[in-house]
Structure 1
Amino acid sequence: MKLLLLCFFVGVMLYSGYISMGRNRTIGEFFLGGRAMGPWLSAFAYGTTYFSAVIFIGYAGKVGWGFGMAALWIVLGNTLLGSTLAWLVLARRTRVMTERLGAMTMPEFLEARYQSSAMKVYGALVIFLFLVPYSASVFMGLSYLFNQIFGIPYLYAALLMCLLTALYLIMGGYRAVALTDVIQGTVMLAGVGVLLYYVLNAPQVGGLFQGMQRLARIDPALVSPAGPGGHWLSLAALVVLTSLGPWGMPQMVQKFYAIRDEGAIRPAMVVSSLFALVITFGAYFTGALTHLFFDKLPVDPASGKPTPDMLMPVLIHNTLPELGATLILLLVLSASMSTLSSLVLVSSSAISIDLVQALWPRWVKEHGVLIMRLLCCTFIGLSLVIALAKPAIILSLMAISWGTVAGAFLAPYLYGLFWRGTTPAGAWAGTLTGLGSSILLSLYYRLDPAVIPLVGSLAMAIPMLVVPVVSLFTRPLPAGVVEKAFGKGAVPGMRTLQKHKEVETA
């Protein structure tokens, strides 16, 4: 049964890629689906990209084991800050300004907003280099789960995931991703419901209230708002990293570029917020209950070392029936495939649209989609190499990527959207400060998993102070450049902008 369900799911994904293949004649269609995504597609695309295998295999077990029920603060942050406020604050302004500037990617936006072709090349390199470890962490999480549920060796599971991602994505592009995200999101919601049902009814838990009492008997701090050990600063850093980080992540911002019109934003915000609430609660609440199932960390059969990355795979394997475990596998696969697709699209576009176009524009004009497809395969191959090497636990790998990329882009992007006085020097100072602080502090603390989330949070916070300070003392952009980005007075709605375009065309 589980093989049949898995084959059906894979078949749906490949079919969506196949039927979308003929509609990707330009880079804009391949990368953004022609900027025609409605609210449901946009909301599920945002949610399924936000939450991947890492949340269920890495974060849920690691954070739940370390912080207990205090991990639910992350649920609140991801829902309100990472989803609701992100759509409320960023979506409309991003869609309108990128349309004005003719930008399809984060590096293109930075180039047009700050009149710096060097920033475009720099942004492309940052995206490609630092999203590879993030993608590798997703492959690692999937491979661990396949190993536990199907008994497939880690190596073969990783190879299978890479092949599936490559076939699915290079055929259909963003349109195929958007078409299947609603199905994948539905599978994720159903999977969370099944996971909570079986875990709460397991003999080790015995229901919600009984489970909380048993958890308190192990350690009262596991059910306290502050968590055990007084590590509230580490928990706060995780909330900031996982909630504010998406504001500066190119694969998340891409969803705002592609939305159809202004009327689609509010329903998309509501749907994505509810989706975030259900998914994060299911993951972190289950992770907080792992102390009822384990006396000590389980051992990774490949390395022979105890690791929190095995908590959730072993719990699912031991607690859920075969059909339920298969549904959880599809849940994680759904989340991961959408995340991987967005990561690969954004990273390949960073080279094809932003880097190759800057150096050899004729190539992109004549063979843009082919170049993107080839770079998709390259990116997946590099991610596979890192996933097979297993350089660090999943939580650290993802946190380093999030902190570095978000630290490099958040402040220049956010100030560029809302403050006319942001200067090129201020943007450069902010992005270099975020990138440098993340890398240097991570190396200084020797990639310590306990410190990495705090490093990522600092990498996002420091540039928010640096950009305005430097901008106040450096040469501003010409008025015409600022006027092109912001327009006269308030930024017009997308419908008004579309009418202006129709009049100009006529």
Structure 2
Amino acid sequence: MDNLLLLLIFIYVALMILVGYVAYKRTVTSEDYLVAGRETNSYIMALSYGATFISTAAIVGFGGLAGTNGMGILWLVCLNIAVGIFLAFVVFGKKTRKMGQYLDALTFPEFLSKRFNSRFIQYFSGALIFCAMPIYAASVLIGAARFLETTINVDFTICIIVLAIIIGFYVIFGGLKGVMYTDALQGTIMFVGMLILLVSIYWMLGGVTEAHQALTQMAPLFPEASKATGATGWTTFPAMGSPFWWNLVSSIILGVGVGAIAQPQLAVRFMTVKSNKELNRAVLVGGIFIFVTTFTAYIVGTLSNVYFFQTSGQIAIQAAGGNVDKIIPTFINSSMPKWFTYVFMLTLLSAAMSTISTQFHVQGSSIAYDVYGGLKDSKKHNLSINRIGILIAIIIAVILAYLLPGNIVAQGTSIFFGICAAAFLPVYICALFWKRTTKEGAIAGIISGTLISLFCLIFTHQKEAAGLGIAKALTGSSVLFTSMPWPYVDPMVIALPLAFVFTVVVSLLTHNTKDEEKEIDQMFKYDDTKGDVD
């Protein structure tokens, strides 16, 4: 490990500790710890949101998938910006902020719970987040650790532990302020690193036109196994309705693109700003950030095939030893000068730490505030309990990072996004926009979305069902339905619309009480007439 790398790591870690300490000193109340005091400015909020959204799962995991799936994955960039930024901030964000303020909600489960006057929703949602998020957190940890392992030859086990300790420090003590302050710093590093990488790969391959033409001409080299399932090349979309198409469209593009709206760790960001003006200002910063980081990851992942073929006669997946999660790290270490490899290492560390810190914070608050705190029925939030919850979340993620198989980064992310979309999106939309939604309807929507998602993961979706082996043990077949397209349809595509149906139908069959109707009217009136709270 040379002196330049040691210096960069020292400066980086020192900055993280310093920012975390500043946040710790400014964290006094539960509102500070859970929603950053509701006074975050637009720049910090936008970068925190973006850096939380874009993790090593996006850069290493989905960048690697771009290397095996091709440029069709760029549609995910469109959804990330259109849904994850513009729709989220302008349509969902403003109502979430004002309604969250009216309800005095400090977490996403509490927001839903108070909106529908149901403690059960808070308990169930908190438990679901705590149980489902570890696979996502572990996936992000793995992505960062694999790059460190490849770049500086540090043992994978040591990388996982060191990352967990550093992140744990400022999350446990600084709360959401610590998370958001460090996110803003890490987001700035990510933006600069990814922008340099985007320019570099086109320069390296002779320009935009030359790079894309070279990739198009490589279509005959696309793996035969992928062609057999519908792939047509790196610059063309797969055959519609084929297994390859269903995996790309339903699991990768729709699963992650739509699922972003209902991410608890992202939704709570809207409750950290003091006015709609801050959200409006954040749209431009967030949109540019998401575009540069995701577009770069997917372009680099795809075009790495050209680089590897020109330098070694292999395509990307071959050069990476068959591990999708190693495509981006292998490309960086093979093609870029040492100084940029170190800069990109900090970029990936920033991407990982910004996302994981939020995941740990949300998991800790879910189990400590929403489940334990709710059961204790205490009006006073104990920060020590929340910190213990975060510590438990960290330990679980570290254990899973050792147990999960290779090629898991993108898949683990898709699973969590899909479960959140099915469980929370119907109820979240109805909470903000449909007064008629009842407590019973909301409960039906959350439970049905969760159970249908889990059923599909275990019994119908080939990728997970075959790995788990439960369906095969019970029925003799890896999936219940073998005819096309069912083994390749992502669980979210099935669970999300059904959860909407359950939410709406049960709401129409039940009624809010007079007191609940009056409270809901006041809630929506406040939402419509208060405007910005400056």
Q: What is the TM-score normalised by the length of structure 2?
A: 0.86
Asked whether 1:257 is paired with 2:268, we answer no
Distance (whole Å) between structure 1 residues aligned to residue 155 and residue 126 of structure 2: 35
Shift of 1:491: 4.3
1:59 is matched with 62
Measured against aligned partners, the alpha-carbon deviations of 1:128-150 in whole angstroms (never above 9, x if no partner) come to 00011110001100110000111
Q: Does 1:389 find its partner at 2:389?
A: no
Pair 1:484-2:488 in alignment: no
CA-CA distance at 1:298 after TM superposition: 4.5
Partners of 1:374 and 1:214 in 2: how far apart? 53
1:29 Cα offset (Å): 0.8
In 2 relative to 1, CA 227–195 (structure 1 residues): closer, same or farther, beyond 3 Å?
A: farther
CA 1:244–1:479 in structure 2 vs 1: closer, same or farther (change >3 Å)?
farther
State the identity %.
Answer: 27
The 1:291/1:227 distance shift into structure 2, 3 A limit, reads farther
- Give distance in 2, aligned partners of 1:452 and 1:368: 45
Conserved? CA contact 1:421–1:471, under 8 Å:
yes
Give me the whole-angstrom Cα distance separating, in 2, the residues matched to 1:460 and 1:81: 16
Tell me what 1:456 maps to.
492
1:162 deviation in Å? 0.6
Match of residue 449 from structure 2: 434
SS in structure 2 at match of 1:37: coil
Q: Is the 8 A contact 1:94 1:417 kept in 2?
A: yes
Cα shift at 1:2 = 2.1
Aligned equivalent of 2:356: 340
- CA, structure 1 residues 158+419, in 2 after alignment: closer, same or farther (shift >3 Å)? same
Q: For residues 327 and 427 of structure 1, what CA distance do their matches in structure 2 show?
A: 46
Query: 2:461·2:491 contact (CA, 8 Å) conserved in 1?
Result: no
1:419 corresponding residue in structure 2 = 434
- Note the alpha carbon deviations across 1:26-85, whole angstroms, 9 max, x for none: 2211111111111111111110010001111111111x1233122211111111111111
Equivalent residue for 1:222, pick from 233, 244, 248:
233
Distance 1:138 1:445, change over 3 A: same
1:295 alignment counterpart: 315
> 1: CA distance between counterparts of 2:201 and 2:105?
46
Mapped partners of 2:488, 2:404: distance in 1: 17
1:393-408 equivalence runs, <5 A: 393-408=408-423
Contact 1:121 1:354 survives alignment (8 Å): yes
Which residue number corresponds to residue 377 of structure 1?
Answer: 391
3-state SS, counterpart of residue 269 of structure 1:
helix
How far did residue 180 of structure 1 move?
2.5
Cα drift, residue 211 of structure 1: 1.2
Are 1:17 and 1:172, in contact at CA under 8 Å, matched by a contact in 2? yes
* Of 306, 318, 336, the match for 1:320: 336
Residues in 1 aligned to 2:14 and 2:409: alpha-carbon distance in whole angstroms: 28
Displacement of 1:480 in angstroms is 3.1
Q: State the partner residue of 2:228.
A: none
* Structure 1 runs not aligned, ≥5 long: 500-506
Query: Aligned partner of 1:458: which letter?
Result: I
Amino acid at match of 1:399: S
Q: Does residue 236 in structure 1 map to residue 249 in structure 2?
A: yes
Cross-structure match for 1:502: none
Q: Which amino acid aligns with 2:437?
A: T
Between 453-462 and 100-109, the greater mean CA deviation after superposition: 453-462
Is 1:143 the counterpart of 2:154? The answer is no
CA distance in 2, matches of 1:11, 1:228: 50
Query: Is the contact made by 2:319 and 2:327 (CA closer than 8 Å) also made in structure 1?
Result: no
Q: What is the root-mean-square deviation of aligned Cα atoms in Å?
A: 2.3
Q: 1:91 aligns to what?
A: 93
Q: In the alignment, does 2:149 pair up with 1:173?
A: no
For residue 33 of structure 1, the aligned residue among 31, 36, 39 is 36
Amino acid at match of 1:295: I
Q: TM-score, normalised by structure 1?
A: 0.91
Cα distance in 1 for partners of 2:376, 2:513 equals 28
- How much has 1:456 moved relative to structure 2? 2.9
Change (3 A) 1:498 1:277: closer
Q: Contact between 1:396 and 1:452, CA under 8 Å: does it hold in 2?
A: no
TM-superposed CA distance for 1:335, in Å, is 1.6
Q: Secondary structure at the match of 1:222?
A: coil
Tell me, in whole angstroms, the C-alpha distance in 2 between the residues paired with 1:88 and 1:346: 23
8 Å contact kept, 1:71–1:288: no
Q: Which residue matches 2:347?
A: 331
One-letter identity of the residue aligned with 1:277:
F
1:7 corresponds to: 10
Report the Cα distance in structure 2 between the residues aligned to 1:126 and 1:492, rounded to whole angstroms: 28
Look up the SS of the partner of 1:487 in the other structure: helix
What is residue 503 of structure 1 aligned with on the other side? none
State the distance in 2 between where 1:235 and 1:312 align.
Answer: 19
1:69 aligns with 2:71: yes
CA contact (8 A) 2:215 2:235 kept: no
Q: Deviations over 1:352-382 (max 9, x none)?
A: 21111122245x73x7111111211110010
Matched residue SS, 1:206: coil
CA pair 55-486 structure 1, distance change in 2 beyond 3 A: farther
Q: Is the 8 A contact 2:276 2:532 kept in 1?
A: no
1:311 and 2:327 matched: yes
What is the total number of aligned residue pairs between the two structures?
Answer: 489
Q: Which secondary structure state, in structure 1, belongs to the residue aligned with residue 463 of structure 2? A: coil
Q: Is the 8 A contact 1:24 1:172 kept in 2?
A: yes
Q: Deviations over 1:391-419 (max 9, x none)?
A: 45222212111211222111111111110
Per-residue deviation at 1:490? 4.5
1:22 paired with 2:25, answer yes
* Contact persistence 1:96–1:493 (CA under 8 A): no
1:423-477: CA deviations, max 9, x gaps? Answer: 122212211221112111111146606967722343333312331122112x222
